[in-house]
Amino acid sequence: MRRHALFAGIFLFLSSSVLGQSYDMKIHLANGESVIISLDDIQRIEFSGIAMGVEDSTGLGAVARAILMLQNYPNPFTPSTTIEYEIPAEADVTVRIFDVKGAQVRELVRETQGGGRHRVAWDGTDANRARVASGMYFYSVESGGQNLTRRLILVR
């Protein structure tokens, strides 16, 4: 069984009214199950499964904003892959692809998007639409001062 850490795909911004208190958070998993986790201030949380959403189960407004970024699919991929992410409310969003040296390969999205789930496809090309080499790349989703990054593999 693989363990997924909460910080790997979800950032939580806690309301100042709940800091110093204990509260519960419900994490919705891809398999349809939910996990309730009790939190005391800021801590690292691990759970089994892939998180599909986060919900404040205390009614205290503990989860003020959360961004969720899912693993691209398929991965490894050829010739294209889909990147899926969720933002809690309307915000400016930037989605970019980087090589292993950290150089930007392509910017896929730079726009204001409404809250909810979004998808963008990458066809394995750079900013000039030239095919990039097989290998490991990274994609990042930036919104609301948060920046989440994951790895993807292109196989030609």
pLDDT tens track, the chain, 156 positions: 333 333 334 445 454 444 455 556 666 666 667 666 665 544 555 555 555 455 555 554 444 456 788 889 999 999 999 999 988 888 999 999 999 999 999 999 999 999 889 999 999 999 999 999 999 999 999 988 888 889 999 998
Phi/psi for 49 (5° steps) reads: 115, 175
Please tell me the predicted confidence (pLDDT) of residue 16.
46
pTM of the model: 0.62
Q: Quick check: helix, strand or coil at residue 8?
A: helix
Give dist(CA 8, CA 61) in Å, integer.
Answer: 22
Give dist(CA 87, CA 113) in Å, integer.
Answer: 8
Give dist(CA 66, CA 49) in Å, integer.
Answer: 18
Please tell me the predicted confidence (pLDDT) of residue 18.
45
Helices and strands, number each (H, E), in the chain: 0, 13
Please list, in sequence order, all residues whose beta carbon lies within 8 angstroms of the beta carbon of residue 112, skipping any fewer than 6 positions away.
90, 91, 92, 93
